[in-house]
Structure 1
Amino acid sequence: MIRKTLFITGASSGIGAQTARAAVERGWNVGLFARSKDKIADLEKELGPHALALPGDATSLQEQEAAMAKLAGHFGDVNAAFANAGTGLSQSGTRKGDPGEWERLVQLNILGVLWTAKAASAYFVKNRGHLLLTGSAAGRTTIKGSVYGASKWFVHGYGGNLAEEFREWGARVTVIAPGMVDTPFFDEAKPDKLKPEDIARSVMFALEADARAGVREVFVMPVN
């Protein structure tokens, strides 16, 4: 079996790490891109020869391009990319919000997604690849004063626009839109909410859809 290769941002924990585990189990190679060198090194060791740790900052186009080039050199190509890295805010609202936090959020939640799409497009125009973006239930509704939610509105809008662009090459785009997930994103555990492995399975569902089917969005909400 010829293994395809998936590049994952925010791969050090939570949804990114669980997606890497699920992908390797399903026969993929994975590129683990994150700033946490120790965590992705440990994950690479756990997953074995089908994983490659790629330390880097998702807010840098150059670092994402270099990481994808290294991944392609190691495994032969980049067939899919998951723009999963993201951040939240400590204070909601405009009046009480921290402009410095807003800037960091825009750099990662918006520009970081653009950089993944830009870097991956160089491969997908040739190999009919697949880009996945982590959206959110917060990007499908209005929430009082939520700058974070607005950043996810961008992801949903851009994902749809990008799907129309990428289909010209036969490539696909999927927005993965979870509700609350029990991940390190939150300070306190959320044991009754979704688990990262639920979202990882959603990613694999979209990736493994027949080539004729473009799964544009997977919207997953906790039952409770």
Structure 2
Amino acid sequence: MAGKVLFITGASSGIGAQTARQAADAGWKVALFARSEDKLKDLASEIGENAIALPGDVTDLGSLQAAVDKTQETFGSLDAVFANAGTGLDTPGIEKGDPEEWSKLIDINIKGILLTLKASYPALKKAKGHLVLTGSVAGRIHISASVYGASKWFVHGLAGNMTPDMREWGGRCTVIAPGMVDTPFFDEAKPDKLKPEDIAKAVVYAIDQPEHANVQEIVVMPTQ
């Protein structure tokens, strides 16, 4: 797998940043996409010549398309995409939920993944590449009135639908379903839960499989 290229959304912190580090250690070139330009540049500098910082907005197709084009210009191909960008809600549930927050969540967690796939699909098809989506255990179980959970059900459904589509042209699709992870996603630290490194290992494991094998889903749960 040495020298292949991985495009990561939500790459500036947490799971995305750690996946970039571990993928680079495994021989991948990494294209880092997120809104936080300073964090991206710092991460790209840390990784070195096999990383490129691509500031942009996952809800903007033009921004994503420009980043995908720049990735191919710089590294010569695009072999895998990790659609990882996501957000949660400050006010969960329906009764007290904020429709403006729902719109933001839908834009990032649902439309953002669709736009990422739209922008990268031709490059993935050309490379017979690999799509990896950040789902959630919340997208595999029912949580009372969870709008966030429903958005992750969409992600799992999309992954299931993309698997046969990509198989037709030699591509692969994987959904990673973490339990609670100690990342900036939460307002308070979760020291007894999963770490971003745990999820990054799952992503790298999936994309480093031989071409005849597709790991379609990985569920990673904390032991406590």
CA offsets 1:134-181 (integer angstroms, 9 cap, x no match): 000000000011000000000000100011111111000000100000
Measured in 2, the distance between the counterparts of 1:135 and 1:210 equals: 23
Q: How many angstroms does 1:61 deviate by?
A: 1.3
Aligned equivalents of 2:42, 2:29: Cα separation in 1: 16
Match of 2:28 in 1: 28
TM-score (norm 2): 0.99
Separation (CA, whole Å) in 2 of partners of 1:34 and 1:150: 23
**Structure 1 CA distance for aligned equivalents of residues 104 and 148 of structure 2:** 11
Q: Is the contact made by 2:2 and 2:26 (CA closer than 8 Å) also made in structure 1?
A: no
Alpha-carbon distance in structure 1 between the residues aligned to 2:120 and 2:210: 21
What is the CA-CA distance between 1:120 and the residue it aligns to? 1.6
Aligned to 2:204: 204
Paired residue for 2:174?
A: 174
Q: Do the aligned residues in 2 keep the contact of 1:6 with 1:30 (CA within 8 Å)? A: yes
Alignment match, 1:111: 111
**C-alpha distance in 2, partners of 1:125/1:139?**
27
Distance 2:155 2:14 in 1: 19
Residue number in structure 2 paired with 1:13: 13
Q: What are the within-5 Å matches in structure 2 for residues 114-125 of structure 1? A: 114-125=114-125
Structure 1 position 45 matched with structure 2 position 79 = no
State the 1:2 CA deviation.
5.2
Q: Distance in 2 between matches of 1:181 and 1:72?
A: 32
Identity, in percent, stands at 61
The residue correspondences of 1:1-224 to structure 2 (distance < 5 A) are 3-224=3-224
Partner letter of residue 222 of structure 1? P
Shift of 1:59: 0.7
Which amino acid in 1 is paired with 2:114? L
Give the unaligned 5+ runs of structure 1. none
| C-alpha distance 222-21 of structure 1, shift in aligned 2 (>3 A) | same
Q: Secondary structure at the match of 1:109?
A: helix
Measured on the aligned residues, the alpha-carbon RMSD in Å equals 0.8
Equivalent AA in structure 2 for residue 125 of structure 1: K
* Gap regions ≥5 residues in structure 2: none
Q: CA deviation at 1:126?
A: 1.3
Structure 2 CA distance for aligned equivalents of residues 147 and 33 of structure 1: 26
Aligned length: 224
SS at match of 1:31: strand
Q: Deviations over 1:43-87 (max 9, x none)?
A: 011000000000000011111111010011000011000000000
Measure the CA separation in 2 of the matches of 1:2 and 1:75. Answer: 13
- Matched AA of 1:191: P
Cα distance in 2 for residues equivalent to 1:93 and 1:199: 27
In 2, Cα distance between equivalents of 1:38 and 1:21: 17
